[in-house]
């Protein structure tokens, strides 16, 4: 069984950088994709970035393109979300999630099978 644990949330000043971590256990080669989502109060959940397990990025939201990066450290089974040039509108609860269905790897699908508990990011202006 797969478990995801996010960490790294905190308060950041606008314009700054921050990195979130997602430690995954139980991953197999049959798990197509893993990604980061976020949800701010009163707003719908938004896909931020998604990648193939052990592979390349498959989706990046337009709102973060050029500012956020998603990468994996295989030896640690950890996926990171590097956030640069943060804006107040980036403040949200950030979740790591994975899914076995390739159709979910390209954005637009939010019903991923496995989710972490989330980590809060606050951006002050």
Looking at residue 29, its pLDDT comes to: 63
Spatial CB neighbours of 28, under 8 Å, sequence gap ≥ 6: none
Strand order in the sheet with 78-83: 3-7, 18-25, 78-83, 68-73
Is the pLDDT at 40 greater than 70, yes or no? Answer: yes
Each residue's pLDDT tens digit, 82-97: 999 999 999 999 999 9
Is the pLDDT at 20 greater than 80, yes or no? Answer: yes
Spatial CB neighbours of 56, under 8 Å, sequence gap ≥ 6: none
Looking at residue 43, its pLDDT comes to: 95
Percent of the residues in the chain that have a pLDDT greater than 70, as a whole number: 97
Percent of the residues in the chain that have a pLDDT greater than 90, as a whole number: 77
């Amino acid at each position: 069984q797969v478990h995801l644990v996010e960490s790294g949330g905190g308060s950041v000043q606008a314009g700054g950088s921050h990195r979130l971590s997602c430690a995954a256990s139980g991953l197999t080669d049959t798990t197509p994709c893993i990604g980061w989502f976020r949800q701010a109060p009163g707003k719908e959940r938004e896909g931020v970035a998604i990648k193939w397990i052990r592979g390349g990025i498959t989706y990046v939201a337009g709102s973060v393109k050029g500012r956020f990066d998603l990468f994996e450290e295989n030896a640690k089974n950890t996926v990171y979300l590097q956030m640069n040039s943060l804006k107040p509108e980036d403040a949200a609860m950030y979740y790591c999630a994975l899914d076995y269905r390739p159709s979910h790897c390209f954005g637009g699908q939010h019903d991923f099978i496995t989710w972490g508990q989330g980590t809060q990011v606050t951006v002050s202006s």
